[in-house]
Amino acid sequence: MIMAYYVYILRLRDGSLYTGIAKDVEKRMSQHMKGKGSRYVRSRLPFSVVYTEESPTCSDAMKREAQIKRLPRSSKLFLIGARQEGPGSRSA
């Protein structure tokens, strides 16, 4: 069985965006909600998942995470908007 990895973007209480990776997105979101995720997210709860993207390997997910983190905020917002309206969207 092939296990995919996911890149996700969260919109936090203060409107900021946080990008991360996870093997199990639901489990990772649970960790964030319990304050066991990143310090950045913990201090800005609650959040909503606004984008997810599947990657075949951890390495690919990490590369994509770094790529998204380098984007300016306007490009991240465009990515989120484009994904939410596109076919096969997994945003929540």
For 34-90, write each residue's pLDDT tens digit.
Answer: 989 899 999 999 999 999 999 999 999 999 999 999 999 999 999 999 665 544 444
Domain total in the chain: 1
Element holding 9 (H helix, E strand): strand 5-12
Is residue 39 domain-resident? yes
Is residue 40 domain-resident? yes
Is residue 55 domain-resident? yes
Is residue 92 domain-resident? no
Rounded mean pLDDT of 24-32? 94
Q: How confident is the model at residue 1 (pLDDT cuts 50, 70, 90)?
A: low
Is residue 27 domain-resident? yes
Rounded mean pLDDT of 5-23? 96
Q: Which domain holds residue 75?
A: 5-85
Rounded mean pLDDT of 19-41? 93
> What is the CATH number for 34?
3.40.1440.10
**Which one, of 56, 71, 69, lies nearest residue 8 by Cα?**
69
